[in-house]
Structures are given as structure tokens and as C-alpha cells.
A and B are shown apart, each in its own frame.
Chain A
Amino acid sequence: MGNHYIHVGSITNAMRGKRLLEQQGIRSYVHRAGQPAAGDGCGYSLLVTGEAERAEQILRVSGVRVVRVSEGL
């Protein structure tokens, strides 16, 4: 049940992903990393608590590009 950041590359992906997850009952928050890693776009990610794997799956199936998933604090 930890926090995970699902890095999605762009703000539009983040906003779209947030809505898609909401529709599936998963609450998420749009987050922007202070120092995005190379390849992370401008660092926009979705912060989800628990259900990270399911959330990632929902995003991928819906065509939202998932750059990577990292553990949060």
C-alpha cells in the first residue's frame, strides 16, 4: 500500500490518466518532479496510493504512455 509515481511524460497524459483512473475508482494526484530524470518528459506523474499495478495497467490499456513507475515516500 505504498505511494507510487506513475511517470507519464506530459501534462495532457497526466490529466487524461487522472480522469481514466477516477472512472475506475482510483484516486490520483498530478505531481511534477523538481528534477525530472532523463526521459521523464517534464516530470509530470500521477501519484497513487496502493493499486499502482492496476493503475499502470489501466493507463497502458487506454493508450496513455507510461514512462516508468517509481516508489514514493
Chain B
Amino acid sequence: MIYWDNAATTWPKPAKVRQAVGQALRVYGANPGRGGHPMALSTSEQIFACRQAAADFFGLSDPSGVIFTLNCTTALNTVIRGLLEQGGRALTSDVEHNAVWRPLTALSPHYPRFDMAAWSEDEEETVENFRRAIRPDTRLIVCTHASNVFGVTLPIRRLGKLARDHGLLFCVDAAQTAGVLPIDMERDGIDYLCVAPHKGLYAPMGTGLLLCRERERVAPLVRGGTGSYSLSAAQPADLPDRLESGTPNTAGICGIHAGIQFVQEQGRDSVYRHELGLLNRVFKRLDGCEGICLYTSFPRYGRAAPVLSLNVAGLPSEETARLLAQEGVAVRAGLHCAPQAHRRFGTEATGTVRLAPCIFSTEQETEKICKLFSQIAQKRLHSGKIMV
């Protein structure tokens, strides 16, 4: 199988990650942060080592601000609801995933408490669109670093500065970019960074990270046992305990740590150049081909995540994906949980086929995918129906 569905989750997971998960189950089997016996403490050390590695990787000075969550969606919900349920507005972009759009909408379904700024290929224009959309009661800018459908990026460093200049909090959804594009919370002015480690960090599914450089306290979505201040009925105020109740996913966390190490060993920028290089090749091969629809400009280094959307003209994206699957190519089609982005690019009715390579993807795979797209488009053009 040729797996190019890495924007959903990366596969295969590196041997290092698989080994770390197995070792966690074999060796670090006690509940961390609860007991005082040697295995509980050694397990706690593993958890902390991952916090430290994540903090270092994303430029967060205090590892206590690294929160382990179920996934990136939970991290985003924690920030949005934890900051805004008591009041205030948010400002977001028009290319967001439902992980941002739905919790923002749920804050006040009948009288939306958020505004949307239009993404533009011109970074200056994007920042200006955000600036113009700031209202007196805006408290938080929350936006994706890169569209999970089209790969287009938002200028987070400039938006971070905008937020700081206006006294706003800044939260970034880095689901598609963590481990691929450079992110430094201090440098980029990010207060809250939401990460899907099972994507660009090659960790197991069912893991998420929320990194907090907290200027304002986020109220917890979940309260319960933390292994600290147990006599108190109140949730501890300190991080990470305030936002981490219940037994953590030790095996997954050990997998995150190994995944970070894997990306560091490969070199984050090398990973990015490899993946973007393959998509550049696809783009060059298919751009201008009769019957192929591309929706973005050439994916440029530093301005695009390694995600590309396309369609065969006149063919539903799901049908194209089915035909590719018949030939052993695994990709995702449809709306990708991001209807706003499809509205922005005019693909709401059809959805798109999404190509997302990873570090293990090859040039041979790229060639095969290009060839299949050409064949499907040609058959569609000449017969009006598909025979593969």
C-alpha cells in the first residue's frame, strides 16, 4: 500500500516509537505521580522527560506548561472553552478545522462570539484582515498554522505580534505543522500551542499536546485526581495538574518522546524539505494537465505545509479516492472536517482529494500517484465514465 494519508495520522510509525511504546508497557507500568515506589517514580521520570523534550522542541521555557491531552481537538477545546466560556470574543481565520470552528460556535450558537478574518496568499493582507476584525471585547486570536486541506499557512509570527500589540491571547492549532514547520512559542508570541503528536511527531494516535505559556489561567474542562493536594476539593491551580486529571496515557507519552527524538534525528527541516519536495513534484506534473483541478499556487518552502488538495474534473473526490484505493493508494477525500476552508476555496460541493506524504514516502510512490491521476483524468475525459 502507498499511504499518503499522513495529514490524518502518520504511518508507519518509526521503529523507535514502536519500541518506546512497547517498553512503556513492559517497564513503566505503574501509575505516574501517584505512588512513591520505584516503578511509579521511574514512570514519572519518563513522563517528565517527555514534557521537557516537548518544551525544548517548541521553545517553551517551563516544562510544567506541557499538558498531555487526548488529541489536538481536546487541546483546542480546553483553550477555547477554558478562556471564553465566561465571556469575551475570539478571532479566527476562514480556513479552520472543525476543532476550532465548532467549539467557537458552541460558545454562543445564536449570537456568535467570534469573528473570522479572511486568509490571503498575501501575508500582509492576512494580517491586515485580522487587525481590522479585532473588536473591543476580543480576547483571543485562535487560528490554524496551516490548513489541513490546502496546506496554506497563516503568518503566525506576525499574528503573534499583532496579538501582543493589542493585548490579546494567541492560540495556534499546529496539527499539520508541528514537527514540520519551525515553531518557537517565545519567538512567535504563542500563548497556547495545540499539537497532534500522532501526525508530524510520529507518535501513536490518541495523544495530544497543549503547551501553555500562560498569561491568563485556562479553566479545566475536566476535574479529578491529579496526585496532588488531594485533601482539597478544588482543582489544583498549578500546571500541569490543573489541566491533567486522571491517569495519563503513559505508553502514548513515551511514544511522543520517541517521536520528537525521531524528528530531531532526521532533522525537522529535512523532513519538511523531503515532503514538500514530493508535493512540488506532484504539482509540477499535474499542473496544467487536462482534467486535473489544483486549487492553490505552487507549494513554496516556508509558505505551505506538506498537504495538497486536488480533484479530477467532474468526478466526486470520494470516487477518485476509491479508484486510487483500488490501485493500492491510501488517501483521504471529502471535506476533511474543514467546511470553512472548502467554502474559501470553492470546493464545498465536491470536497477534494488530499495528498499528504511523510518522511517514509518515496519518489516512486509520487510517480505512481501522478500516473494514476493522469489515467483517471484521461479516462474521465474520453469516456465520461471510469473503468479502472
Where the two chains meet, the residues of A that have a C-beta atom closer than 8 Å to any C-beta of B are 9-16, 19, 30-34, 38-39, 41-44, 63, 65
- Given A42-B228, A42-B230, A10 contacting B241 (CB threshold 8 A): yes
- Which of B27-35, B106-114, B150-158, B301-309 lies at the interface with chain A? B27-35
**B34, B36, B236: which has the most chain A beta carbons within 10 Å?**
B36
Partner of A15, one of B35, B48, B62: B48
Chain A nearest CB, measured from B230 CB (Å): 6
B44/A9 in contact, CB under 8 A: no
- Given A42-B34, A63-B62, A12 contacting B240 (CB threshold 8 A): yes
B45/A38 in contact, CB under 8 A: no
Interface residue B52 (Cβ < 8 Å from any Cβ of A): yes
B36/A43 in contact, CB under 8 A: yes
* Residues of chain B lying within 8 A (CB to CB) of residue A42: 33-34, 227-230
**A31, A38, A42: which has the most chain B beta carbons within 10 Å?**
A42
What is the size, in residues, of chain B's interface with A at 8 Å between Cβ atoms?
A: 25
A31 to B139, CA, bound (A): 42
Chain B nearest CB, measured from A10 CB (Å): 4
* Residues of chain B lying within 8 A (CB to CB) of residue A15: 44-45, 47-48
Within 8 A of A (CB), among B303-326: none
Partner of A38, one of B227, B231, B238, B241: B231
**A11, A13, A15: which has the most chain B beta carbons within 10 Å?**
A11
A40 to B41, CA, bound (A): 18
* Residues of chain B lying within 8 A (CB to CB) of residue A33: 36
Q: B-side binding surface: helix, strand, loop or mixed?
A: loop
A33 to B36, CA, bound (A): 8
Q: What are 25 A-B interface contacts by the 8 Å CB criterion? A: A9-B228, A9-B229, A9-B236, A10-B33, A10-B226, A10-B228, A10-B229, A11-B48, A12-B241, A13-B64, A14-B44, A15-B45, A16-B48, A16-B63, A32-B35, A32-B36, A32-B41, A34-B36, A41-B236, A42-B33, A42-B228, A42-B229, A42-B230, A44-B36, A65-B238
Chain B nearest CB, measured from A22 CB (Å): 12
* Residues of chain A lying within 8 A (CB to CB) of residue B240: 12
Interface residue B89 (Cβ < 8 Å from any Cβ of A): no
B44/A11 in contact, CB under 8 A: yes
A15 to B40, CA, bound (A): 12
Q: Closest 6 interchain pairs by CB?
A: A32-B36, A15-B48, A11-B33, A10-B228, A41-B228, A41-B229
* Residues of chain B lying within 8 A (CB to CB) of residue A19: 48, 52
Known pairs A11-B44, A14-B44 / 19 extra A-B pairs, C-beta < 8 Å: A11-B32, A11-B33, A12-B48, A12-B51, A12-B240, A13-B64, A15-B44, A15-B45, A15-B48, A31-B36, A32-B36, A34-B36, A38-B231, A39-B231, A42-B33, A42-B229, A42-B230, A44-B228, A63-B64
A63 to B226, CA, bound (A): 20
A30 to B228, CA, bound (A): 15
* Residues of chain B lying within 8 A (CB to CB) of residue A38: 231
